[in-house]
Amino acid sequence: MRKFIIFLLLFSQFLYCEREIPEHIQKKVNIVASKIKPALVKIYAVIPKFYQGREIKNEVSGSGTIIHPDGFVITNYHVAGKAKYIRCTLSNGEKIDAYYYAGDPLTDIAIVKLKSDKKFPYAKFGDSSKLKVGDWVIAAGSPYSLSQSITLGIVSNTKLVLPEFFFPFNKVEIEGENVGSMITWIGHDAPIYPGNSGGPLLNLDGEIVGVNEIKLGLGGAIPGNVAKNIAEKLIKYREVKRSWLGIEIQPLLPLSKVKRGVLVSGVIENSPAEKSGILPGDIILEIGNKKVNVRVIEDIPSFNRIISDLPINRPVKVVVYRKGKKHTLFITPVKRENFYCETKEIKKMGIAGRNISFLESIELGKKDRKGVVVTSVSPGGPAGEAKPPIRKKDIITGINGKEIRNVEDLISFLKGIKGETSLLVYFERKKKKMVTVIKIKEKKESEIIPEIKKGWLPVSVQAITEQIGKKLGIKGTGVMITRVFTMDKDFPLKCGDIITEIEGESLSVSAPEDKEIFFEMISDYPIGKEIEIGLWRNGKKMKVNVKLLKEPLKEDEVEKYHEPHIELTVRDLCFDDFKRIGMGKEGVIVDEVKEGGWASIAKIAVGDLIIKVNSENVKNVKDFKRIIEKLKKEKKDVVFYIERGIHHLFVRLRSLIWKEVEE
């Protein structure tokens, strides 16, 4: 299979490279490029995904097209669906914030709205049904997140589907929805790459005839007529209403005596189809006064679109062929729900879960829709550490004797839990009814256990062995001061001093690692004691008195603060930090950045020194916490001023990071 895919990629590129472009076509391409350019949009989006019980924020880059003067942009659902944040870049370089307006995972179409009151140039749709194999088409977009670009090719297939022999990988599935059940793609060989997703496929009149979505050697675009229909509904209603019958269908069998119709392969229990009397093996000849035919798999999406457009909750006539006779039945379609409900992070339990949709209840074999389906579990979280542990696909049905009907019930129940407690959790696993105990732990700031501090000097040293000492012209062994970590100008020790004695006791050094002997010897004396040190300075032997200081705090002893919404942990500066960044600095050090959190998205890195927050100086964790808590309460943007090595930068986090903060 892999060889086949690579062949397609190479073959399509070879055709493109070798094809001569007629002069009149080149002129049209130039006109289209100028015409479409102002309507092209490069999209940067932050999309929520759920992994190990956490909401992970993924950065996504794609393309889109402005299709309405008010700033409505069409793109793929997999580019912008349910995005937490969207920024669009126009062809002139202008960056405009946008938001996810509405989407349809079943067709992989989403609408993004630019946050601006001005009117925008926009592109129009053409009639994709007029496309023929061999027609010239233009793919536009931002491949690899580069600036807006166009490529040229021809239509290779007007009804592209994923080959059956790719099973079970012959599906484009988004949130449980099989996109291929509603769409036959327009196959073309205009080169497209990651980042082209959501960009337009254009005819030589500059009209949108497709929305690029997939690449399997050939590029695959959602037909423009389908995309236009979905986009209009999303802009007007912010949803796509579809009818549902509860039948499974397939192409007619080769030996079938009936040469036109749709073979019913399955009927779902308690569905409109079952209630109307449709049976597996029936051949649907007509539905809603439309004759239907599914001869090959390429015909399935068009039939499914006919079904989805039937009037909801109104009887429809169906003519079926059964055992040599025609039968007329009446079926009442119901509104189709999305296959999966929206997933939520349940932090207190360390899980992600969702409500049970009607279609998922059928898949799970449940008679009702009560409970919360667990979609992922944090291995070290409360649910993951329970015995027995909660697993993916378990259904939580109750806690402490209280019924849990949905995610809202679960969140409401957990809101009332304060402090540490144990919960008796009832759940279903593969139709088995089970129970476990989950221990809810209150998150506390890490407890600092201070060490007993000893005498210390603010210096770093290198071991001076006898061999090195001879070359330096000194007698004996010791340590050389390589750096002094104090801003006290009266500190008696200097960089380059070679210490050979402490309180009259010689330093016996024979290897590089023996430098630790120096620190062990001074730690034997109490803090504040003045000790006599014998040393060599500039070739002269001398003695100086030095007052021992208190050993500074180590990294694991300083104050820390974790902000759960930014998913960032900072700490006070310790001596090792001063060794790295220099003495006299103030601020907080970034100690941890959770992958997939807002801090990670903003490219904040472990080891960064945060000097200011919203122009306020930050001296320590106490300052940082006070400023952040205030901004959180006021739900304001956060701007960090950061020192990273020799560089400085401003990092902005928009106020949307506080959206899920409980009032």
The model's pLDDT over 52-64, given as tens digits with 9 standing for 90+, comes to 999 999 999 999 9
85/64 same-domain check: yes
Write down the pLDDT at residue 303: 96
447 located within any domain: no
**How many C-beta atoms surround the C-beta of residue 605 within 10 A?**
12
Judged against a pLDDT cut of 80, whether residue 25 lies above it is answered with yes
Short-list 625, 611, 639, 652, CA closest to 569: 625
Judged against a pLDDT cut of 80, whether residue 16 lies above it is answered with no
319 located within any domain: yes
Tokens of 303: 């039939």
pTM: 0.84
**DSSP bridge partners of 651:** 640
The model's pLDDT over 564-577, given as tens digits with 9 standing for 90+, comes to 999 999 999 998 89
560: three-class secondary structure by DSSP:
strand
268/173 same-domain check: no
The model's pLDDT over 165-200, given as tens digits with 9 standing for 90+, comes to 665 556 788 998 999 899 999 999 999 998 999 999
Task: Provide the pLDDT confidence category of residue 352 given band limits of 50, 70 and 90.
Answer: very high
Write down the pLDDT at residue 365: 87
**């029936």: which residue's tokens?**
282
Judged against a pLDDT cut of 70, whether residue 663 lies above it is answered with no
Judged against a pLDDT cut of 90, whether residue 542 lies above it is answered with yes
pLDDT (mean) for 98-105: 97
Task: Provide the pLDDT confidence category of residue 441 given band limits of 50, 70 and 90.
Answer: confident
446 located within any domain: no
Helix (H) or strand (E) holding 56: strand 54-68
Write down the pLDDT at residue 483: 93
105 located within any domain: yes
541/595 same-domain check: no
**């809810």: which residue's tokens?**
440
183/37 same-domain check: yes
Q: Given its phi and psi angles, is residue 483 left (phi above 0), alpha (psi -120 to 50 degrees) or beta?
A: beta
CA distance 209 to 28: 16
194: three-class secondary structure by DSSP:
coil
Percent of the chain with pLDDT over 90: 79
Judged against a pLDDT cut of 90, whether residue 536 lies above it is answered with yes
- The residue that leads in pLDDT, 553 or 140, is 140
CA distance 629 to 616: 13
pLDDT (mean) for 226-243: 97
**How many C-beta atoms surround the C-beta of residue 302 within 10 A?**
16
CB 627 within 8 A of CB 640: no
532/516 same-domain check: yes
385/414 same-domain check: yes
587/637 same-domain check: yes
476 located within any domain: yes
632 located within any domain: yes
385/282 same-domain check: no
Residue ending a domain, choose from 550, 583, 603: 550
227/113 same-domain check: yes
370/304 same-domain check: no
- CATH at 623: 2.30.42.10
- CATH at 11: 2.40.10.120
The model's pLDDT over 582-591, given as tens digits with 9 standing for 90+, comes to 888 999 999 9
Pseudo-torsion of CA 372, 377, 378, 380, nearest 10°?
100
Task: Provide the pLDDT confidence category of residue 164 given band limits of 50, 70 and 90.
Answer: confident
CA distance 169 to 625: 49
Judged against a pLDDT cut of 90, whether residue 202 lies above it is answered with yes
The model's pLDDT over 247-302, given as tens digits with 9 standing for 90+, comes to 999 999 998 889 999 999 999 999 999 999 999 999 999 999 899 999 999 999 99
123-153 in b/e burial notation, b at 16+ Cβ within 10 A? bebbebeebeeebbbbbbbbbebeebbbbbb
Count: domains in the chain: 5
Q: Is the dihedral of CA 352, 357, 363, 367 positive or negative?
A: positive
Give the residue numbers spanning the domain of 379.
343-440
Task: Provide the pLDDT confidence category of residue 447 given band limits of 50, 70 and 90.
Answer: low
The model's pLDDT over 303-343, given as tens digits with 9 standing for 90+, comes to 999 999 999 999 999 999 999 999 999 999 999 999 999 99
CA distance 510 to 517: 11
Task: Provide the pLDDT confidence category of residue 7 given band limits of 50, 70 and 90.
Answer: very low
Write down the pLDDT at residue 10: 31
Residue ending a domain, choose from 510, 527, 550: 550
Residue ending a domain, choose from 174, 205, 237: 237
For 558, residues 6+ apart whose C-beta sits below 8 A from its C-beta are 448, 571, 572, 573, 574, 621
The model's pLDDT over 366-424, given as tens digits with 9 standing for 90+, comes to 989 999 999 999 999 999 999 999 999 999 999 999 999 999 999 999 998 888 899 99
44: three-class secondary structure by DSSP:
strand
138/23 same-domain check: yes
430/460 same-domain check: no
Judged against a pLDDT cut of 90, whether residue 448 lies above it is answered with no
663 located within any domain: no
CB 71 within 8 A of CB 114: yes
CA distance 412 to 423: 14
**DSSP bridge partners of 65:** 40, 74
108 located within any domain: yes
Task: Provide the pLDDT confidence category of residue 45 given band limits of 50, 70 and 90.
Answer: very high
Tokens of 198: 């959501």
Judged against a pLDDT cut of 80, whether residue 242 lies above it is answered with yes
Q: Which of 322-331, 483-492, 618-627 has the lowest mean pLDDT?
A: 483-492
Task: Provide the pLDDT confidence category of residue 147 given band limits of 50, 70 and 90.
Answer: confident
pLDDT (mean) for 475-489: 91
Burial degree of 412 (CB within 10 A; 0-12, 13-18, 19+)? exposed
Please state, rounded to an integer, the average pLDDT across all residues of the chain.
91
Task: Provide the pLDDT confidence category of residue 659 given band limits of 50, 70 and 90.
Answer: confident
